[in-house]
Structure formats: C-alpha cells, structure tokens
Amino acid sequence: MAKKDETIEATATEVAPEANGTPAEDQAPQLGVADLQNAAQVIDAAVSRGAFKAAEAAQVGAVYEKLTSFIQTVAEAQKDAPASE
C-alpha cells in the first residue's frame, strides 16, 4: 500500500506543473475557496452514498457545516469588498 501512495505522490508532483512553468514543489501549497467548495461537495456525495457509518455522521456533518459556513463568509466578504482593479 505504501508503494501505491508513493507512486501517486510522485506522479502528482511530476504531472502538475504550475502555470508559469515552474514545478509545483518550488512554491508553497495553496488552498483556495474553490478547493474548499470541492471538499464540501465530496463530503456531500460521500454522505449521500452511505460512505460513513451512522456513528460518524454527526462528526462528518459538523465538518461539512464548518466548511460551508466558512465558504459563505468568504463569499460575502468578497462581494462586500470593493473591487481592487
């Protein structure tokens, strides 16, 4: 199993260069609102498909609620902020 994880990590690093042509490993990892929205969608899909046990549902739901609340707060802040361009 460790070998499979190593292969995936190496492939992701080699295949996903940044838009400016520099390798992704030269820059600090970034996490954006779109990434958090994707994570929330993954949680929603997993729950709807029964991927979690009943005992885990409350904890997963709490994480989902935190994500969606944060996403909504950031979206409202971006909407209220004046355009900087």
Choose among 35, 75, 40, 85: nearest CA to 61: 40
User: Quick count: other Cβ atoms within 10 Å of Cβ 7?
Assistant: 10
pLDDT at 65 over 80: yes
pLDDT at 27 > cutoff 60 = yes
Each domain of the chain, given as residue ranges in start order, spans: 30-85
Q: What is the mean pLDDT of residues 10-37?
A: 66
Residue 67 neighbours by CB under 8 Å, 6+ apart: 36, 39, 40, 43
